[in-house]
Structure 1
Amino acid sequence: MRHCLALDLHDDPELIAAYEEYHRQVWPEVLAHLRAQGVRELEIFRLGTRMVMVMDTDDAVFDAARMAEAERTDARLRAWEELMWSFQKATPWTPEGAKWTPMQPIFRLTDA
């Protein structure tokens, strides 16, 4: 399944550069976690401060609630999430307490 989520960054060029540098060297535990959760591919795109994450998952393995629970309970994953949150902020449409927010699909070429 493909998931598309949005998030914003703080509007600070130095923070944005640091955020991008972290993503050139993602912690090995984070990469292992994503793969163990059934994430087959994950890409993050940025335009200004807006980010879009496209994530392809294995439906037989992926469970968003289980993934979020691991990110809350594993100390290393929690440290990564807290570090990333120092660069990130919720979009204006993000529910209270949420981070990456699912986007609604509106068009697919193969369905047309």
Structure 2
Amino acid sequence: MKQYAFALDLVNDPKLIAEYEAYHQAVWPEICASIRDTGVADMVIYRFGNRLFMIMNVYDTFSFDKKNEMDLANAKVQEWEALMWKYQRAIPGANPGEKWVLMDKIFEL
């Protein structure tokens, strides 16, 4: 099992943040199934203000390239991602079009 951490910002608007959280209280079942199908064992997202932090635990067979390929081929995932861009904003330092930015682990106890 491997673990990855990601960061992303939301548009800094309380109404939009509340809508985003509401979507994440009832994530479409197809999205949850797709995440699991790509080799993700579990995933959690935390929020502080408009900053998001995601922890993703994946099986050893997980591949970012394979996940990206599967996501691009899944119309429901593409619909979800397009909808989420209404609420999301690339974090400073992200590449153009990049959403969740992989964080570097700097400490572990």
Q: Verify same fold: TM over 0.5.
A: yes
What does residue 94 of structure 2 align with? 94
CA–CA distance in structure 1, aligned partners of residues 32 and 49 of structure 2: 25
What does residue 71 of structure 1 align with? 71
Give CA-to-partner distance per residue, 1:27-75, whole Å, 9 cap, x none: 0111001111111110000010110000000012x11111112222211
- What is the DSSP-based 3-state SS (H/G/I as helix, E as strand, rest coil) of the residue aligned with 2:16? helix
Give CA-to-partner distance per residue, 1:59-101, whole Å, 9 cap, x none: 12x1111111222221111000111111001011111221100
What does residue 30 of structure 2 align with? 29
| Contact 1:71 1:81 (8 Å CA) reproduced | no
Task: Show structure 1 runs of 5+ residues with no match.
Answer: none
Percent identity reads: 43
- TM-score, with normalisation over the residues of structure 2? 0.95
Task: Show structure 2 runs of 5+ residues with no match.
Answer: none
| Contact 2:38 2:70 (8 Å CA) reproduced | no
- TM-score, with normalisation over the residues of structure 1? 0.93
